[in-house]
Amino acid sequence: MLSSTNIRTFSVASAVILLLAGFAIVFPQSAAAIFDLAQGWTIENFGWFYVTAVVVFFVLMLWLAIGPMGRLKLGPDDSEPDFPFISWVAMLFAAGMGIGLMYFGVAEPVQHYIAPPEAEPGTMGAAREAMAITYTHWGLHGWSIYGLVGLALGYFAHRKGLPLAMRSVFHPLIGDRIYGPWGDLIDIFAICGTLFGISTSLGLGVSQIVSGLSLLFGIPNTPLVQVLLIFVVVGLATVSVLSGVGKGVRRLSELNLILAICLMLFILLAGPTLFLIRAYVQNFGLYLDHFVIRSFQLYAYEPRAWLADWTLFYWAWWIAWSPFVGMFIARISRGRTVREFIISVLTVPTAFTFLWMTVFGNSAMALDMGVAQGAISAAVQSDLSTALFKFLEYFPWPMVTSGLAIALVMVFFVTSADSGALILANLSAKSTEDDDAPGWLRVYWAVLLALVSSALLIAGGLSALQTATLVAALPFAVILLLTGAGLIRQMNADLRGEVIEQAAPHLGARLRFIFAPATRAQIERQITQSALPALQEVHDALSANAELARLDTTDEAVSLGIDTEKGRPFHYRVTAGSRPRPALTAAEARRNRREVEWRMMVSSSDGKRPRDITGFTREQVVGDVLEHLHRWRANL
């Protein structure tokens, strides 16, 4: 059972999670004080960095979509998308937005309306500013962060054959060290951030569900009811996650989207329809008009605490959630081009979110200024989890719409938990890009999610770990910048048909072969231990996909070949080759005249002269073969 698990990543991540959660549970006030202090220091000193990094992510995504890299695919050039477009959009929407839209759809615009950073509170000017700010926090900037992580992971997993894990995005920068302690550390960081981020969001979701049940049916809003609800929902999520992405997660996401559209259309049609349509258009224009200035707004000349409480908080939260959402988006995006991926991820969820925020936010502010007489603002100020249900009281059939809202939050709750458990399991497993982690590992992370969320909810430690997650976003922002650099390097190499050499991960081995030249026996042993298993692995994968590949071995060489009716056949041949020993001085050259050294050489159907791959591991040889196969297939 443990053979499919990365023991180091699994055990260390579990230990760190239990230690941090235990600290927040046993000492919730001390944990909150420490993490609040850390968050304040981070925002005070690195707020400028968050703002700059988010702008860089957005510009990078636009550049990749517009430029020649946009035609590359997340997978082989002949691959097709795994999911229909609507199902794909539904899944990325449910994973990336879900509970947040339900919780903040009414609450955030109203909060900016009653306490704007610049306008006069409670005025039409405050309402306009509230929507421009809300659009900024939920728009292109945030989805650029999710999109970058999803794009990088999808590219390296589906096209380069690397594991679907955060470590893989560093392969162009650190090579096969991603399979060692550095890679484990990256994945441990991603697991901890993902679990705590989901736990805090589940806390928001369950508080809203119980508030709705309390208003509708008089069910007591107690910690016991909240914990019971968490275990019910995570139980449903476990069933969903065991049925896989193609069934449970996909179907629930589609149900999510249908329910969300039904609720939104009801509010749109039952409310001031014409006003909301005009507001949607004007809000979008205001968003574009303020886009640049709000992208760089730091209030440097007139400091305001509002910036730290809102914009910087959001940027940190998007970054903290990016491993989870990015990995899930990557998992479901095989076969799409880079251009299609970026344009869809940036525009489709953003357009829907803007419409949602307009329908709920503008309606709430209009009601608050009219018949509600400030009641919605009062509900937002007293308890955010009740804001949506207080808002629905001013529409027909409030019991029905509130019930639909509760069902929607429940389904969002389940999809967040099941997709989160799937991603956590894949991060801690020895999985490839085509295989999900075993069922028991998915169940383990689903149960741990329920336990951590419940314990923190009872002890009051959710806010402390939410703050800790936001502090952790600072180093992860640096990781994302390095991710962008590695992705560009790899895409440029693929466009030029080049292979990125990775000698650094095996520096010691390569140096030994340079300064203590290998014998023929050593090279033949290397061929047996690394080249032969690598070619066998590729051969088996090709055979499983009905490709007529052949593997030939002799005493001197091992080779992989594919015959084709059109174009030249493919071959990749690894053999031991000799050459005169190099000399650094004339005296050394005289001594080495009759001496040779042996190297592991590869020749392929690209017609180029043989290359030296001495010291390559099995994984590196596999990567090299796939690069040559890709270029051969593209030139048929």
What does the pLDDT look like over 244-284, one tens digit per residue? 544 556 676 677 778 888 999 999 999 899 999 999 999 99
Residue 513 pLDDT exceeds 60: no
More confident residue, 353 or 628: 353
Residue with tokens 């991060």: 427
Q: Please tell me the distance from the alpha carbon of residue 358 to that of residue 369, in angstroms, as a whole number.
A: 16
Helices assigned H by DSSP within 497-546: 507-515, 520-526, 532-544
Beta carbons within 10 angstroms of residue 404's beta carbon:
17
Could you say which DSSP state residue 615 is in?
T
pLDDT at 431 over 70: no
Residue 326 has pLDDT above 80, yes or no: yes
Q: Whose CA is closest to 530, among 459, 625, 447?
A: 625
Bridge partners of 574? Answer: 558, 602
Q: How far is CA 612 from the centre of its chain?
A: 36
> Same domain, yes or no, for 407 and 529?
no
- Domain-terminating residue out of 428, 461, 496: 496
Q: Which pLDDT score, from 0 to 100, does residue 500 have?
A: 57
Provide φ and ψ at 371, rounded to 5°: -65, -30
528 and 535 Cβ atoms separated by less than 8 Å: no
Q: How far apart are CA 327 and CA 333, in angstroms?
A: 10
Angle value at C-alpha 180, between 176 and 182, nearest 5 degrees: 95
Helix (H/G/I), strand (E/B), else coil: 477? helix
Shared domain for 532 and 397, answered yes or no, is no
Does 283 share its domain with 203?
Answer: yes
Query: pLDDT band at 432, cuts 50/70/90?
Result: very low
Q: Which residue did the predictor score with more confidence, 200 or 17?
A: 17
Decide if 296 contacts 133 (C-beta within 8 A): no
Beta bridge partners of 5: 429
If one counts the domains in the chain, the total is 2
* pLDDT for 523: 83
DSSP 73: B
What pLDDT score does 570 carry? 85
Q: What is the pLDDT of residue 434?
A: 45
* Confidence label for 464 from pLDDT (cuts 50, 70 and 90): low
The Cα-based distances of 300 to 48, 55, 116, 566 in angstroms read: 10, 17, 18, 65
- The most distant pair of C-alpha atoms in the chain lies apart, rounded to whole Å, by 99
Residue 366: which CATH number?
Answer: 1.20.1740
Indicate the average pLDDT of the chain: 81
Based on the domain organization, do 565 and 431 belong to the same domain? no
Assign 23 a pLDDT band (cuts: 50, 70, 90).
confident
- Say if residue 381's pLDDT is above 60: yes
Residue whose pair of structure tokens reads 């200024």 in the numeric block: 369
d(CA 504, CA 502): 6
pLDDT at 503: 38
The crossing angle, in degrees rounded to 10, of helices 250-270 and 338-357 is 40
Residue written as token pair 């919730």: 28
Query: Last residue of a domain, which of 449, 471, 496?
Result: 496
Whether the pLDDT of residue 334 is over 70: the answer is yes
Structure tokens at 135: 């659009």
- Give the model's pLDDT for residue 426: 80
Strand partners, 429: 5
Q: What is the CATH number of the domain that holds 548?
A: 3.30.920
Residues 205-241 have pLDDT tens digits of: 777 788 878 877 788 877 778 888 878 877 777 776 6
State how far the Cα of 575 lies from the Cα of 556, in Å rounded to an integer.
Answer: 6
Give the whole-angstrom CA distance, residue 476 versus residue 319: 7
Q: How many CB atoms lie within 10 A of CB 510?
A: 15
**491 and 543 assigned to the same domain:** no
Domain match, 367 and 392 both? yes
Retrieve residue 301's tokens.
């000349």
Do 475 and 523 fall into the same domain? no
Residue 80 burial (CB count, 10 A) = 10
Q: Do 517 and 491 belong together in one domain?
A: no
One domain, residues 197 and 309: yes
pLDDT above 70 for 96: no
- The percent of residues in the chain predicted with pLDDT above 90, rounded, is 20
Q: Show the domain range for 581.
A: 504-634
pLDDT, residue 55, reads: 95
Amino acid, single-letter form, for residue 584: L
* Residue 433 and residue 572 in one domain: no
Same domain flag for 471 and 515: no
Residue 354 confidence (pLDDT) above 90:
yes
| pLDDT class of 588 with cuts at 50, 70, 90 | very low
Last-in-domain residue among 467, 496, 525: 496
Give me the mean pLDDT over the 71-77 stretch: 84
Question: Mean of the pLDDT values across residues 301-314?
Answer: 84
Q: In this structure, are 407 and 511 located in the same domain?
A: no
pLDDT recorded at residue 342: 95
Judged on CB neighbours under 10 Å (0-12, 13-18, 19+), 485 is: middle
The span from the CA of 543 to the CA of 451, in Å, is: 44
Provide the whole-model pTM.
Answer: 0.74
Q: At 76, is the secondary structure helix, strand, or coil?
A: coil
> CA nearest 246: which of 422, 77, 408, 93?
422
More confident residue, 460 or 588: 460
**Contacting residues for 337 by C-beta, under 8 A, at least 6 apart:** 70, 71, 72, 73, 74
